[in-house]
Amino acid sequence: MKHVVLGMTGASGAPYARRLAQLLVRQDLRLHLVISPPARQVFADELGLRKLDVESLLGQPADNVTLYGHRDIGARIASGSFLTDGMVICPCSAHTLAAVAGGLADNLITRAAMVTLKEARKLIVVPREMPLSAIEIENMLRVSRAGGIVCPASPGFYHRPRRIEDLLDFVAGRVLDLLGLPHELGVRWDPEHDGAWDGGEP
């Protein structure tokens, strides 16, 4: 069974994180979940989830999810000897981005991210903040140069979204693609899509 780590931090974008978690638990994998205290506040603000456990987050029970304490740096996902198939931080706050870029490991999310990078495994960070300062851009560059993948929560529109859920699926689908996980969300570019430009003169 595959093992994927999902860290949720305190940036706006809780609906992206919840949708990604819902899609991950449908896969044949074990999801290792860490939610920071600021993320819990954002989930309360954006989704009305005052009590944030696995069942309330996903909307259903799931037996393939392990929820860890944010400060539990002794958890198995904090060790490079525990083999995982990648880690996602969604949403990734500017604070967490800076910590990962600086190699800090003062909580389980940043510790697991550091381990993921040093073991040359796939680390995907999903920032949503905008606009970006030079500091945040430089931190993204540092993470990218260290082997991480920066995947901003910037949904496309070529799949003609009609609902907010379509935009959530676009970002979640891109993350699943980066993890090498199958899905049928219909968010990939299709030049045969009805109405697509045929390359001719307008």
Kindly report, residue by residue over 133-162, the tens digit of the pLDDT. Answer: 999 999 999 999 999 999 999 999 988 899
The C-alpha atoms of residue 104 and residue 130 are separated, in whole angstroms, by 24
Q: What is the pLDDT of residue 198?
A: 52
Average pLDDT over residues 70-98: 98
Q: Please give the helix or strand (H or E) that residue 43 lies within, else none.
A: helix 37-47
Q: What is the pLDDT of residue 197?
A: 47
Q: Please give the helix or strand (H or E) that residue 34 lies within, else none.
A: strand 29-35
- Which amino acid does the sequence have at 13? G
Per-residue pLDDT at 201 exceeds 70: no
pTM above 0.85, yes or no: yes
Residue 63 burial by CB count (10 A; 0-12/13-18/19+): exposed, middle or buried?
exposed
User: Which has the minimum average pLDDT: 109-113, 154-158, 171-175?
Assistant: 154-158
Place of tokens 């960070």: 125
Q: What is the pLDDT of residue 105?
A: 95
Average pLDDT over residues 30-42: 97
Tell me the fold of 2-179: Rossmann fold (3.40.50)
54 vs 32, 62, 107, 192, 199, CA distance in Å?
Answer: 11, 7, 20, 40, 48
CA atoms within 13 Å, Cβ hemisphere of 101? 20
